[in-house]
Amino acid sequence: MNFAPFEIDAATRAFWREVREFCDTEVTPELREQIWIEDSYHDQALYKKMGERGWIMGRWPRERGGAGLTALQDKILHQELDQAEAPVFCWGLTTLILPAVLQFGSPEIQAEVVSRVAAGDARFFLGYTEPDSGSDMAAAKIRAVRDGDEWVINGQKMFNTGGQFATHHFLLARSDPKQKHRGLTMFLVPLDTPGIELRPIKTISGERTNFVFYSDVRLPDRYRLGAEGDGWNVVNGPLSAEHGVAADLSGLGEISGIGAGFTKRLFDLVHRVAEYERSIGRADDPLVRLRLAEAWLYAEASRNSPAMLGRVIASESFQKYSADLIDLVGPAAVVPRGGPGVVAEGWVEREHRFAQGTAIYGGTTDIFRNMIAQHVLGLPRPPKPAVASTN
């Protein structure tokens, strides 16, 4: 057990300074404002500059396009960019998916994309969810039919976030309609392949997500990841990483898996509202103190809840307390940024909308409870209901 500060050596301190200067220069207030107003949370010019410094795959050696960072330097890099609200959405998903490409991709596809990932030129997004399947992602219907050295793909995906910024789609497709999990095959599809169309979906968070339509898309077989019918195995690594199945026990990361990001947002929100209440002279109001203390307590409790457990409490605490803090602040809390009398630069208004999605994407909190029940507590699986008769 250790929560002491890391010793920061001279090289790391110099690196830290470099990152701060980068953020000060590149992540300007104007850029942050533009990102907020346009709800476009990836700035490609900024991302390319990260790529030029080797920061996208920061831990990789320079000869592979990385920056040879230590694990601590990489943590500092992530922390500073996050703190600066740097709009680099593609970073997370691309690095989440890349290990599957490295493990299962053909030599040709690796030659084509890997160095471009490090440079910021290749960017991936997830292609799991469809109109009829979300948490039950192995029910995917989008059809991939083999035709010689190519695949012909038809169907649609939905809620595939970040597609408008990406170059490649990490596509889960059905190659065999007779089987469920064994009938799936994974592909890394270049988005400029003819027949692919993205259409935007607006959400209450303000974030844009997408439909992705495939119409007679002809994809060379080299873009297949893993064997035909082995898609569930290929997707397992990125899926487990996204779910935060294993708590990070290295001492460098958060133990709460994907909950860590939501917890950070709740934590920041509590402190923003505390500053606001202080600024209007309500810091001594017992009700203000109690409500903020409870919200802060739940942010800290979420942070201390490991892996899948952390995701559930983090999302649900974020939902509950983002709503509670609107009540605390009062009607001005629902005025968005730019509106007259907006509070805390619109954060309270926005986070309440944003929090809702965190309990849905990446597998809903309901699915997580089932996974925890079976895999952490060892409870028996719920029986599958008999197929309802249509009468």
Question: Residues in the site for another protein, rule: CB under 8 A?
Answer: 1-6, 8, 13, 16-17, 20-21, 72, 75-76, 79, 83, 249-255, 263-264, 267-268, 270-271, 274-275, 278, 283, 289-290, 292-294, 296-297, 300-306, 309-310, 312-313, 366, 369-370, 372-373, 376-383
Q: What values do phi and psi take at 387, rounded to 5?
A: -65, 125
DSSP string, 296-323: HHHHHHHHTS-HHHHHHHHHHHHHHHHH
41, β-bridge pairs? none
The CA dihedral of 242, 245, 249, 250, to the nearest 10 degrees, is -40
Q: What values do phi and psi take at 202, rounded to 5?
A: -85, 145
Catalytic residue, candidates 26, 130, 150, 242: 242
- In angstroms, give the least distance from the CB of 305 to another protein: 4
- In angstroms, give the least distance from the CB of 354 to another protein: 17
362-368: long-range pairs with CB below 8 Å, 24+? 362/242, 362/243, 362/258, 362/311, 363/135, 363/242, 363/243, 364/134, 364/135, 365/311, 365/312, 365/315, 365/316, 366/135, 367/135, 368/243, 368/308, 368/311, 368/312
In whole angstroms, give the CA distance from residue 135 to residue 41.
25
Whether 351 is catalytic is no
Segment (H or E) for 188: strand 184-190
145, β-bridge pairs? 152
Catalytic residues: 242
